[in-house]
């Protein structure tokens, strides 16, 4: 798969059928490469709030974060399916990255908007996922678009990125913004939360660096939410077609 080619969008259950790799070991505990790729699962969520009637278009606020590596992305991270569900793992990541105000944001399978499975051969060549990952995490980073890491053997490692969209109230969004400095990861993995500039500032924002396919996820979500930026704003990369409409509350 070359640059620009995206893996297909998978449903939650299709993506979960990709082994997390625990069964891919022989009796000596060594990885059995013939068993196929070992997949690590990562979950990220777009949190958005409707703005009051009469607000400038589009009438919602969307949160993203500036990461430790200078790239923009959505809150979330790797989930250990041996210990937690996708949604429980994502909630844990939100508490770490957004702080206590995120504890009240319940995430359910209905908020899942699609997943993509990336192998080493599908990796894009730009961006950086620079050296702070554990050896466990590196398996994923090798395979992730935008990782910037030297490619490993490619076919036996992979990352499944799950994308969620969750509507919150403007009050809940404000609480998260006010409480972000209390988050354990604030100033470490997360440098700060931002509201995506959706008006005239969007073209400039879209030229920033994004982790993985976060930029396409943002554009796909805007499309699902009924707002397609004018052509010249988002045309560098077509949005993911999430194949879904009307995100659940």
Binding residues for ligand IDP, rule: CB under 6 A, are 42, 44, 73-74, 76-78, 129, 137, 140-141, 144, 146-147, 159, 161, 189, 211-214, 217
Distance CA 176, CA 12 (A): 27
- In the bound state with ligand IDP, the residue whose beta carbon lies nearer, of 49 and 143, is 143
Nearer to ligand IDP, 129 or 177 (CB): 129
CB of 216 to ligand IDP, least distance (A): 9
Name the residue nearer to ligand IDP (CB basis): 37 or 76.
76
What is the token pair recorded at 218? 């943002």
The torsion defined by the Cα of 115, 118, 123 and 124, in degrees rounded to 10, comes to -10
Whole-number minimum distance, CB 42 to ligand IDP, in Å?
4
Count other C-beta atoms under 10 Å from residue 70's C-beta: 13
Q: For residues 76 and 89, give the distance between their C-alpha atoms in angstroms, rounded to a whole number.
A: 8
In sign, the C-alpha dihedral spanning 46, 47, 52, 56 is: negative
User: Shortest Cβ distance from residue 159 to ligand IDP (Å)?
Assistant: 5
Query: Which residue's CB is nearer to ligand IDP, number 24 or number 162?
Result: 162
Considering the complex, state which of residue 42 and residue 94 has its C-beta at the smaller distance from ligand IDP: 42
Which residue of this chain has its Cβ atom nearest to ligand IDP in the complex?
A: 77
Question: Residue 84 has which token pair?
Answer: 């937690």
User: Measured from the CB of residue 162, what is the shortest distance to ligand IDP in angstroms?
Assistant: 9
> Looking at beta carbons only, is 60 or 78 nearer to ligand IDP?
78
Measured distance CA(130)–CA(166) in Å, rounded: 29
Q: Smallest gap, in angstroms, from Cβ of residue 132 to ligand IDP?
A: 8
- 185 and 96 in contact (C-beta within 8 Å)? yes
What's the alpha-carbon Rg for the chain, to the nearest Å?
A: 18
Q: Distance between alpha carbon 161 and the CA centroid of its chain, in Å?
A: 6
Question: Residue 92 Cβ, how far from ligand IDP at the closest point, in Å?
Answer: 10
């Amino acid at each position: 798969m070359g640059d620009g080619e995206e893996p297909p969008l998978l449903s939650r259950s299709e993506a979960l059928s990709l082994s997390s790799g625990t069964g891919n070991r022989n009796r000596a505990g060594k990885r059995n490469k013939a068993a196929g790729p070992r997949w690590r699962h990562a979950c990220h969520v777009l949190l958005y709030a409707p703005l009051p009637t009469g607000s400038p278009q589009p009438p919602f606020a969307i949160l993203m974060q500036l990461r430790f590596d200078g790239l923009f992305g959505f809150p979330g991270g790797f989930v250990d399916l041996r210990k937690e569900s996708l949604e429980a793992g994502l909630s844990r990541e939100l508490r770490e990255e957004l702080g206590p105000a995120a504890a009240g944001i319940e995430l359910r399978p209905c908020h899942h908007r699609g997943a993509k499975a990336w192998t080493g051969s599908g990796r894009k060549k730009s961006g950086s996922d620079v050296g702070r990952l554990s050896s466990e995490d590196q398996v994923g980073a090798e395979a992730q678009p935008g990782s910037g890491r030297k490619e490993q053997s490619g076919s036996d490692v992979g990352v499944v990125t799950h994308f969620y969209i969750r509507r919150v109230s403007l009050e809940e969004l404000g609480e998260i913004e006010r409480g972000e400095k209390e988050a354990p990861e604030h100033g470490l993995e997360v440098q700060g939360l931002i509201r995506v500039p959706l008006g005239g500032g969007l073209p400039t924002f879209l030229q920033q660096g994004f982790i993985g396919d976060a930029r396409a996820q943002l554009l796909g979500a805007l499309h699902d939410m009924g707002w397609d930026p004018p052509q010249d704003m988002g045309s560098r990369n077509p949005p993911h077609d999430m194949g879904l409409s009307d995100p659940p509350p």
